[in-house]
Amino acid sequence: MESVIIIVFIVGYLAITLEHNLKLDKLIPALVMMAVCWAIVALGIDSFSDWFDSENHGLVEGFANKGHEAKMHLVEETLLHHLGKTAEILVFLLGAMTIVEIIDYFDGFSTIKGFVTFKGKKKLLWMFSILAFILSAIIDNLTATIVLISILQKIVKTREDRIWFAGLIIIAANAGGAFSPIGDVTTTMLWIGDKVSTGMLFTYLFIPSLLCMVVPTFIATFLPAFKGDISFDENEVEKPKNQHSAKMLYLGLGAILFVPVFKTVTHLPPYVGMMLSLGIVATFAEIYSRTKFSLTDFDSETSDLNAHHSPVHASLSKIEMPSILFFLGILMAVAALESLGILFNFAESLKQGIPLIGSEIEGTKVSDLVVLLLGVGSAVIDNVPLVAASLGMFSESLDNPLWHFIAFSAGTGGSMLIIGSAAGVVAMGMEKIDFFWYLKKITWLALIGFLIGSAAFVVLREFI
């Protein structure tokens, strides 16, 4: 039965990676895969010999000898456990997405356009790379990419020039998301799963991530594409349409940055702090918009009238629910593999089959080569299930260097192919960037940044 579940997972995963060819939204195979995997677990529970205890990170002793009722009770408990952990991530993402949409409602990101007072391509490249690096650490790499490419379209009129800038924005955004607990979905998963802490994540990954952004950008400044000036009329740049744009931008970004502080002080799950931040931002949004609106007032005629004027309601309606449902499906599907001990056994075989590279660091027995392959793999397939699988495979403690290396590798490795990260996929859609153009022009830059950042991490961890 284990082989059947693995086949279902592989088929579902192929459907996800080929969503553009199949013209099928990836959330559909993810949800079907999740439901089918758990259905097979429930129906064939008596045929399974192993069961994985997520809390103790080990196989349940004597599982094969337990009765049917006892096994089904374990299934229900495990399913509820994984649903709770997944819900923590999804609620956190919902809060962050809503805050970003509220900022956008007030045209807050247009404030960034005012920073552009020059025409040199090299200066513009450095500005966008640095902004992508910083913004992605605050509002996540996907949103940062959307925001910056939208601004780029207002400034750089020639598409042939824009796609070069977009390629470097992808690299910088993925690098910036790696060192922040709120900068990338996979890093957020490790943070919420108590595998990395905010302080140590920054300590381990800031320099590698910075190098991963700086080196490709520096090399790119010598390329012909970034020589000369752009055709740019400062009067063409739109001014903020709302008088509260700058206020909402700084308030929203500050509220998101407050979340790690809240978790550190209270030791509560991150989604609690995110809900507090959302409540504060939403309060100011309602005050600034001067409308009265109740989230619970959905059945009155006035609700429909106010819906077009309330920033909270408007922002909630723009949230990408397909992405949320995709994460639900893929994380719960991986949880099914974890629960049967498949990932745990696979990790053990990896540890024995691949020799160690370098010395053993604080009990880390996983080869650096395995983690580097994880980064390469994240460029081909989605990094979310890869990191979700690593959570079930390895049992190292909080802030073990292994988790930080996984965060860096999975976060920045996706830059090597345009389909390898959410930032790349959205840039591909916004600018119609060709897969093979990116492979020829940008991949080698991303690979250099990835390798230099990885080497910097390996050296840095010896001194931490």
- Tell me how far apart the alpha carbons of residues 32 and 333 are, in angstroms, rounded to a whole number: 9
- For 237, which DSSP code? S
Angle separating helix axes 2-17 and 27-43, nearest 10 degrees: 180
Q: What separation, in Å, do the N-terminal and C-terminal C-alpha atoms of the chain show?
A: 45
Return the higher-pLDDT residue of 406 and 233.
Answer: 406
* Beta-bridge partner residues of 151: none
Candidates 33, 85, 31, 30; CA nearest to 54 is 85
- Tell me how far apart the alpha carbons of residues 103 and 11 are, in angstroms, rounded to a whole number: 39
- Tell me how far apart the alpha carbons of residues 458 and 208 are, in angstroms, rounded to a whole number: 9
In degrees to the nearest 10, what's the CA dihedral of 238, 242, 244, 248? -70
Candidates 160, 159, 168; CA nearest to 124 is 168
Taking phi over 0 as left and psi of -120 to 50 as alpha, with beta for the rest, 40 belongs to alpha
Rg (CA), the chain: 23
Check whether 462 has a pLDDT greater than 50: yes
Residue 58 parent element (H or E): strand 58-59
pTM: 0.78
CB 247 within 8 A of CB 288: yes
Render pLDDT for 177-210 as a digit per residue (tens, 0 to 9). Answer: 999 998 888 899 899 888 999 999 999 999 999 9
Check whether 294 has a pLDDT greater than 50: no
- Tell me how far apart the alpha carbons of residues 149 and 112 are, in angstroms, rounded to a whole number: 12
Classify residue 266 by burial, with Cβ atoms within 10 Å: 0-12, 13-18, 19+.
Answer: exposed
Return the higher-pLDDT residue of 17 and 156.
Answer: 156
- Tell me how far apart the alpha carbons of residues 303 and 310 are, in angstroms, rounded to a whole number: 10
Render pLDDT for 209-265 as a digit per residue (tens, 0 to 9). Answer: 999 999 999 999 999 988 888 765 555 545 556 678 888 889 998 998 898 899 889
Q: How many CB atoms lie within 10 A of CB 139?
A: 26
- Tell me how far apart the alpha carbons of residues 337 and 386 are, in angstroms, rounded to a whole number: 12
